[in-house]
Amino acid sequence: MQPTATVLVYSDNANTREQVRLATGRRPAPDAPLVEFLECATPAAVLKELDRGGIDVCVLDGEAVPMGGMGMCRQIKDEVFHCPPVLLLIGRPQDAWLATWSRAEAAVTLPVEPVEFANALASLLRPKASLDA
């Protein structure tokens, strides 16, 4: 049986969540696990799912409303025990320093560029794949 990873995608924009799904496909790279998505449109839904557990990576939209992904990332890094790695979607390359401030493990710019996104997601999922092998 192939390993499967659960990726939480937070954005208030359904098109952004779709871009993430399409850029990833079934798996972001041949050496990464298969991916199942868990979509959240509100900060409360993100916190509820993280409390439930089983999330391997969070993809957070830095442009989300009412709470951007950077603030959400900072909050979950402070509040969630064994917080999963976070991939931030940022509005412009100059915002990379904010991604660092939020303690995200990776960041890519919007709109989602499929190859760049898949590479960043795969890099966060690979350690999980090697543990399950």
Kindly report the CATH number assigned to the domain that includes residue 71.
Answer: 3.40.50.2300
**pLDDT band at 2, cuts 50/70/90?**
confident
**Mean pLDDT of the 128-132 span:** 45
The number of folded domains in the chain is 1
The 10s digit of each residue's pLDDT in 18-31 is 999 999 999 999 99
Domain of residue 101, residue span: 4-132
Residue 19 has a CB neighbour count (10 Å cut-off) of: 21
Looking at residue 3, its pLDDT comes to 85
Tokens of 131: 């543990």
pTM of the predicted protein model: 0.93
**pLDDT band at 129, cuts 50/70/90?**
very low
The 10s digit of each residue's pLDDT in 58-117 is 999 999 999 999 999 999 999 999 999 999 999 999 999 999 999 999 999 999 999 999
With H, G, I as helix, E, B as strand and everything else as coil, classify residue 65.
coil
- Give the chain's mean pLDDT: 93
**pLDDT band at 37, cuts 50/70/90?**
very high
Cα(107)–Cα(118) distance, integer angstroms: 12
